[in-house]
Structure formats: structure tokens, C-alpha cells
């Protein structure tokens, strides 16, 4: 399952950090962050619950870029 989320991030380098943090979250198969569109596209692993995974994605993103936001 794929879902798209609005994000708030200050620069392209920060968006890259968020993308890597999201990809390394349990339950996430793949993630793409676009600084230009301020969107994060997440593909979840089979059987993963997006409502349970996304708070972890947000927390992991905040660890690498504390002033970013993922709107879930």
C-alpha cells in the first residue's frame, strides 16, 4: 500500500535526511521525499498498518531533522 503525506521541511538536504529516516523505519518498504512538492510518499510492507507505522516515521524524521514535520 502506498500513501502520500504533506511535510514541512526547510531544505533539500533535510528532505534527504527525512527520506533515509523513513526508509529505515520498520514497516516501510520504500519512501520518497520531495522538497519541491513538500510531499512524502510511503510504500508500506505487506500487512503493515499505516496508522501504527507513521508515528514511528515522524519520530525517526524528527531525530535527524528536529524542525521538520510530517502531517498524518
**Domain that residue 45 falls in:** 2-71
* Residue (of 32, 25, 39) closest to 70 by Cα position: 39
CA dist., res. 64 & res. 50, Å (int): 21
Q: For the domain that residue 39 is a member of, what is the CATH number?
A: 3.30.70.100
Write down the pLDDT at residue 41. 98
Number of domains in the chain: 1
* pLDDT per position as a tens digit, 23-33: 999 999 999 99
* pLDDT per position as a tens digit, 25-64: 999 999 999 999 999 999 999 999 999 999 999 999 999 9
Per-residue pLDDT, averaged over 13-21, amounts to: 96
Amino acid at each position: 500500500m502506498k500513501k502520500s503525506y504533506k511535510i514541512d521541511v526547510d531544505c533539500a538536504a533535510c528532505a534527504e535526511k527525512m527520506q533515509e529516516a523513513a526508509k529505515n523505519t520498520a514497516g516501510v518498504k520504500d519512501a520518497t521525499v520531495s522538497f519541491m512538492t513538500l510531499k512524502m510518499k510511503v510504500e508500506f510492507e505487506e500487512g503493515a498498518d499505516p496508522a501504527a507505522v507513521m508515528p514511528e516515521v515522524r519520530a525517526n524524521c524528527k531525530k535527524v531533522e528536529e524542525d521538520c514535520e510530517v502531517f498524518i
